[in-house]
Amino acid sequence: MRARTPGGKAGGRRAGRGGKGRRLPRGLGGIGLRGRLTLLHTGLFFVAGTALLWVTYLLTARALEQRITSKLPRKAALVPVRPAPPLETPSADMPRTATVALVQQVTDGADVVLAELVRNSILVMVVLGALAVLLGWLVTDRVLRPLHRVTETAERLSESTLHERIALDGPQDDVKRLADTFDSMLDRLQRAFDAQRRFVNNASHELRTPIAITRTLIEVALEEPDASEDLRVLGKALLSANARHERLIEGLLLLARSENEPPVLRPVDLAEVIRSALEQLQPTAERRKVAVTAELEPVVANGEAVLLERCAVNVVENAIKYNMRGGDVIVRLARERGDAVLTVENTGPVIPAYEVDGLFEPFRRLQDRVGSAQGAGLGLSIVRAIATAHGGTARAAARPGGGLIVTLSIPSASPASRSSDRRPAGCPYTPSSPSPPPRGPRSADAR
């Protein structure tokens, strides 16, 4: 009897596909966990179904063969199958030939039954496979629902929402342990952030208070009419050192805030912010004989106006202070590919390319600036921290011929509707009105 395996190549392909359930092709890498688990379950179902069909086929074929051979005479069952001659005269072999023909007919009928079994089994397996896909998709969604809660909570988290917890109910399984571990981690994070916030607030008070008292005492001593000239010289030196300490403390506190506290996002007119920064720094530029030119396009970004103004003041002040006498500073604001891009370029001494990246590190300055009374090396560190807090970047590059090019990029909002305040390069920046007092805190530090 001829024994045939069901499914042929199709069954082999299904088995092969199911056998690769643990390692999906690269094209499936973008499918989510729910889809991958559904494909895995479906593949395993088809592998098991193909194996079951193959075993059923073999057992049925063997049972039919045994049933046929048990109902026929032994000799007839052993006669080889051969085609009958077209025309034969009746002879004594006719009964045996009829028996052989009967055996052939029975075996052919068994083959038909087996083929029908294979076809029907494949149809049933396809229908059940589609049902398995649907059920697998629904069951997987239910199983992964707690994980979705973990993911949604993690996506909502920020420093202001660390109080949220998953608080998953249910049996103590792997998902419950994961959710509880995540909640414990959030507890530790919240305690750490609260402790850090308290430290910054306490440090702000404890550090500023003695500095303010010292400044007041020095100023009172200098107001004495009988103060000697030496005392006045010493007092002015102490006031200068005291002011530098104030800027250092203010810069450190601002750096800690910008690195650890998310800004309050509101629409901010960056052109107006930069104009305010330029007006604040106009006296400094005039004192150092530095020409400041500006090209400001109307750009609106979502951010905190005070921090963005401080960022602009720091980077422009840095460009003015570390410049040659009679040098230039060029400030550009534009909207590029959905980002607000501020570029500040200045003349000055040649800066080695390998030292540029270090300028963004706290207390890092160029070698010839160490010990300089102009700053403590926090200006560009604060600039990068503020840009990063707003989802942007800050980078610098050495300018050919000397100087530095600092580029800030933060996501922009819808373009401003007001007209452009564009001044071509080479035209000095002049405030449209008398310089108002600074709206925000004074510059923390210029590098």
Q: What is the pLDDT of residues 26-48, one digit of tens each?
A: 445 567 778 888 888 888 888 98
Question: Across 6-10, 114-118, 369-373, which has the greatest mean pLDDT?
Answer: 114-118
What Cα–Cα distance (Å) separates residue 189 from each residue in 54, 194, 356? 57, 8, 34
Tell me the angle at which helices 229-260 and 379-389 cross, rounded to the nearest 10 degrees: 20
> Which pLDDT does position 245 carry in this prediction?
76
Output 152 or 261, whichever has higher pLDDT. Answer: 152
Could you give the 3-state DSSP secondary structure of residue 427? Answer: coil
Output 302 or 65, whichever has higher pLDDT. Answer: 302
> Which pLDDT does position 39 carry in this prediction?
87
How far apart, in whole angstroms, are the C-alpha atoms of residue 117 and residue 124?
Answer: 10
Flag whether pLDDT at 305 surpasses 80: yes
**Predicted structure pTM score:** 0.52
Nearest to 310 by CA among 263, 363, 355: 263
Mean pLDDT of the residues in the chain: 75
> Which pLDDT does position 408 carry in this prediction?
93
Flag whether pLDDT at 242 surpasses 80: yes
CA angle 86, 91, 93 (to 5 degrees): 85
Flag whether pLDDT at 140 surpasses 90: no
pLDDT band at 89 (very low <50, low <70, confident <90, very high): very low
Output 244 or 79, whichever has higher pLDDT. Answer: 244
Q: What is the pLDDT of residues 151-193, one digit of tens each?
A: 887 777 765 567 778 777 777 878 788 888 888 888 888 888 7
Across the range 309-316, mean pLDDT stands at 90
> Which pLDDT does position 18 carry in this prediction?
41
Flag whether pLDDT at 372 surpasses 50: no
> Which pLDDT does position 64 carry in this prediction?
80
First to last CA, the chain: 94
CB 380 within 8 A of CB 315: yes
Output 161 or 288, whichever has higher pLDDT. Answer: 288
Picking from 244-248, 350-354, 421-425, which range would have the lowest pLDDT averaged per residue? 421-425
What Cα–Cα distance (Å) separates residue 114 from each residue in 2, 4, 26, 58? 11, 9, 39, 9
Flag whether pLDDT at 339 surpasses 80: yes
- The dihedral built from the CA positions of residue 388, 278, 401 and 372, taken in this order, carries a sign that is negative
Torsion of CA 120, 123, 125, 126, to 10 degrees: 170
Instruction: Enumerate domains of the chain plus CATH numbers.
Output: 8-156 (no CATH), 263-422 (3.30.565.10)
Nearest to 22 by CA among 34, 12, 36: 36
Q: What is the pLDDT of residues 397-417, one digit of tens each?
A: 999 888 999 999 999 885 443
